[in-house]
Every structure is written in structure tokens, then in C-alpha cells.
Structure 1
């Protein structure tokens, strides 16, 4: 009996599967390139509009420079030039801040051209009679990539994230939400490197919608950097339970670790590991969960604070309370909330008592631990 011939990897079904995989991979690469070019252009357009609020277009030369594949030769408001490379080059003074800003934008546009030829970029059209020159319509907003990934998040993840952001100091939450709205609206690029965040006030704050600038003007560089670090921490899955310190995430993510309340996880039926694995490193997916869904700036006053654990236990709102007092008050509160000690209580009363009991237990767990209590007192300022 002749030996069985091994099944060939060149059969039609295997070729079809390989073709399907290759097509899917190619589509993924193309989509990534589209999104990358999109973010770069939006960042570049925002930077130009900051320098020239009245600008409606720019002209780019894609064939003159050896170091760059694109160079801005003019910025215009309608038919009127607001800035030209020729005038900048003929100036006797050293390049000013505006010239340098335009040069920076030229480098960004050059980066976008690494992913797509000029004629495929949104808002770009060839300039007649000038080969290699393109007119950029700065009022044409490139199509935002599909943002339906949020639908893939496990139930409750977005609520946990929103509640977590609400618990941050209000300036940090304000900065984080603006950063995330800017990512969702493609006003600027994700800042993946810590070094880039040092320039946040200059690079991001000016792009805030004018109606909100007064509020954001109060934010310091540390507010921006902390808020952005937290957003990237969520993307990395660098999180921990605030009360216990149980955590997940990369070992080198100490400056990104995001504390999440145990009660928030329980209330939304979400495990810590689910939150850690929800975003897969995609900061834009985090941005969808963090950004204000209505696009409005948060109030200038704190939208949410850490829960007042002293109040939950019925303790005076000061930090001079001694540990024995915490123990005594907790025991008294527990006795008053034991649902099983009142046989006449209704099912609804039992459920309410259990919820109160859980909140009191959470407060006691923090306030009875010297380290956790000291951390809470540092981060919470309700009095």
C-alpha cells in the first residue's frame, strides 16, 4: 500500500485562507495609516489656526526640499496671505516664534506624507500651474476614524472609568477630559512619551475651544501631565484597588498607576482585571470612555471628590480622630445596620441596610489603616 501523501499546504482552501489573512492584514495596515495621517493633520491644522486664527488655507510645496517632502510656502485668509515663506526668508531678523511654528507644522505635514500621497489627503487639492504645490483647506476637517470600538467594552467599564475620573482632583480631571476630547475630536496627537508631556501647556492648552480657555488657564503643567499620565495608565492597564493596593499593569508603570475604588467596581459589576485588560494599550479607546460625552467642559468647581469616609462613619470632620474612636464608632454603626437584627424590616429595607453596611465597612477599612488613612487625608480635601 503506497504511503499516504501529506496534505499539501498549497491546496485551494489553504490558499484562500492565506489570501483572507493577507487581505485582513493589509486592510489593518491601511486603516492604521489612515488614522495616523488623520491625527497628524489635525494636530498640524490646530497649530496653524493657533498662530493664524483667520487662516482658511495654506499652500504646501512637495518638491523643493531635500530634508522635507513638504514645506509650507504660505498661509492665507481667503485670497489674502497672512504669512509667506518668501517674506520670512528675506527678513533680516532671526526667525521669530511664528516662523518656527510654521516650520514645525511643515515637519508634521511631512510626516503625514509618509503614509499617503498628497492627492489622497483630505482637504488637499493641486494648485494649478504650479506642479508639486497643493492647497490645504484648513476648514475641511478630515473624516474622524470610526469610534465605535467603545461598544466592545464590557458592561460597566465606561462607568467605572467615569467615576474614577470624578474622584481625581478637579484640575487633574479637567485636564484629562480635555486631553481625551482633543483625541476624540482629533485636535492633537496622543502624547506617548513622558518627555512630550513637559510641553503640554504650550502644545495642548492653546487648542482648547476659546469658550473654555478661562477655566483651563488655571491648570498648571503638573495638572496636565498627571491627567495625561492617568489616561495612558488606563490604556496600559496600570491600575490598582485604592483600598487594598491590589493591582495590574507593567512593572515600569509606577508614574501611570490609576487607583480605582472597590465600591465602584462592585457597583458596576466589574473586576479589576477586566478594567486592566479593557483597552489593550489604545489610548484613543480610553479617550472615548473618559471624554465628556456631551463635549462640554467640566465645571470649574470639583465635579466629584473622594467619598467622605469620616462622614460615612459619623465621625467629626477632622483628622484628630484617634484609632480607638474609629473602632468604637464603627462597631456602633455596624450594630445599627445589621439587617438580620430587625425581623420586621422589609426586603427593600434589608437591601438598603446591606448597601449602607458595605459603605461603612469600606470607610472603616481605610480609616483604620494608618497608611491608607494618611493617603486618603492627603488626597481628599473636603474640609
Structure 2
């Protein structure tokens, strides 16, 4: 293996230059942790041009393995819940389920966590252990608890950290429940996205403490939120912007749609807004506020392409198609799904389409809401 030091330094220089690494303590922590140590089992690279998406393994010792370890990109480490790079020869066409997040996002989040020297931190999702090691380098092992849902992923991280003589409190379990044994915490950081902020995180954070998590929806748009926990058991704080994307925590992934409703039923009208707006990240995120349980699929029905939103929880649905340059919507179910979306977007447009970093997330024991 060639010397990783120049590659590591090159990455640190780039992250300092682009403003990711902003403070001396985190620069020192980043300098102390070598990313390739957490990728010894290899990773998957996307096969360029493959449709549907395909992945091929890159193992320790392969050409470009070490160089890629120090690229500022996310590297897939598990596919389909159990498959690791050493299991595959050739290609695999399944969904990724675990990854080593791009270093710039990991370190940006750690900077945004605003830790103090004595902060007790709970990390939700250990993953490869890279971010866990960074936290230990910054605060010390005794200040860090990290929880991982997947037993195999947790075992690999435990081995990797031990190989480097790093021994934080490591727990295998459901991170959405937090870790009551080591509570309370000054900071909670989640390196997976959640659909809604778990009540347990708020209960296990000291008043005045911070929760840093990505709020994601089933339409695929997500944002980083930093919440301050209040004395009354609620939490609120701003979205930080930047189109932050993580895999949803597995219990928060959307359910299978199952048998589709009769999409020929329902009432039609001309749509004020078409589904083309959903190609914009910010608009899609705002739409999720009006239809948090909606999933989007594109279908060809009777020679016509339709964009269909289905709320699996309520059974409501909306199908939209282009007819001579105008959008037609057909809806059915307990609520008119597209009506709610159009109304929500109209309020946002009337307010001047504020950017997502002007939004505030508020979480109470019984609901979660976004405000601009």
C-alpha cells in the first residue's frame, strides 16, 4: 500500500479551503483520523452508465482503492441489508443500505454540532466508525456513545475502532429510541435521516442541549436541522440548508405501496401547479410538509404518462398528466391530495418563496411542524 499521508493532507487542505473545517479543534481531530482505516473491507462504486443502477466492489489492494478513500465522496459499504464488497464478483443491482458519508458532510455536521470540551454526545448510527473516531479525537472516548441498528455493521465498526485503540461506548440497537443508559446528553447527532424527530431524543437531551439531524421525506428531499431542547419537553431550531441527504433510518423508510388504487376513479380538474415543480429540491421539500406520507411514481396508462402521488396511510391519491400543454389532475380518497399541495405551495409563494435556511422546525410530544 502506498503512503496515505499525502492523500490525507490533500483532503484536509481541500476541506479547510472550502470552509468545511472551520475551527482548530476539529482540524486537529480530522488530522488524527485516517479514513482508509474504516474502509479496509472495501466499498462499492456505481457502474457508470448502467441502467438500472449497478454497483461493483473495490477491495483493499485494488487500483485506486486508497486514492478513492480520500476523495470527498460517499462510499457505499453495504447493499441490500447484508451484502458487503467481498461478497460480490462482478456487478450487483440492489439498493445501498449503508455507506461511509463524504468527509465534508461529516465534518460540517460536527462543526455545526457546537460541542463544548465536556459535552456528552450520543451518535445515532455508528456506520463505519469514522465519525465516531472523529468525535473521540475531539472530546475523548468517555464522552461518546454511539448506537448502530445493524448488527453486522456494528460489529465491523467495533473491530475497526478497537484496532486503533479507540473504545467509546458502542451499542447495537434501535437508534430511534436513543440510549437511555448513558443519558442525559448535551448533544445528539444523527448520521441517518428521519421522517420525524423521535421523542426519545428530546427526552434524553438536557434542556439547552442540541440535536442535529437530517429531516427527510418520502419524496426524496431532506435538510439538516439543529434543534435546541427546551425545559417544557419540546425542541425547535432552524434548518441549516445545503440539500443534505442521508439514507432514512430503516424504520422510517416508506412502506410498500402494495395493490394500487383504481387510478381511473376520482374527479378531474385542471391543475394550477404541475408535477414538474417536484424536480426542484426546495419545492419538493415544501410539498412534503403538505403531504408527509406521499410517495411518487411515474406510470404509463393507456398510452399516457402520469405522475402519481399515493398516501399509503390514508389511501388518498392524485394522478397528473399533460393534456395539450396544460396539467390535469385526477384525485380520490379521504382528502384531495393535490389540492392540499397546491394550497401549501401558494402560501409559500405568497411569502416570497423563502429559502429553506429560513425555515424553523418545531417538535412537541405529539406533532412536528415547519414554519417560515
TM-score tier after normalising by the smaller chain length: under 0.3
What is the TM-score of this pair, normalised by structure 2? 0.24
TM-score, normalization by structure 1: 0.24
Q: Which has more radius of gyration? A: 1
Structure with greater strand percent = 2
Relative contact order, higher structure (CA 8 A, sep 6+): 1
More helix by share: 1
